Amino acid sequence: MHYSHMDSPIGRLLLAGDEAGLTLIGFPAGSRARRAEPDWEQRDPPFDAVKRQLEAYFDGRLTVFELDLAPRGTAFQRAVWQALRKIPYGETTTYGALARRIGRPSASRAVGAANGANPLPIVIPCHRVIGSTGKLTGFGGGLPTKAALLKLEGALPATDDLAEAN
């Protein structure tokens, strides 16, 4: 596995992948904070396209990523992650709506768990999933990061609960 780091407006991101594509974007803080594993090799050139696209995203110039992705997960998780990629930039959805979208209407909790296990946040936009009440709910990079990403996209829900995320 190869890895690199990238400074971003939400902190220093860990990027990891192999010949198949990008496998991980790790946040510097939050419940899903990640560090490079001891057997990984630091190599920057394989991540040039990822960095360019993430920079364009953070600058507001890119709304759809075109990268080779190789997330690792179960068939159910991969189905959820594929559905996440179909949530348009600047829009949000709920766990229940996402469960219905993948044909599993009673699986909103399982969808939430798969969403939380997403190894490629931002690129696979799990930040676009909010609670059924419009409240921002758990995010591996922390709720302030989720709010920042939604604000960047112009999708921050209008609710008093946002004060809790800041």
Q: Pick the catalytic residue: 13, 16, 84, 126?
A: 126
The verdict on whether 36 is a catalytic residue reads no
Closest CA to 122 of 163, 81, 72, 80: 81
Residues serving a catalytic function are 126
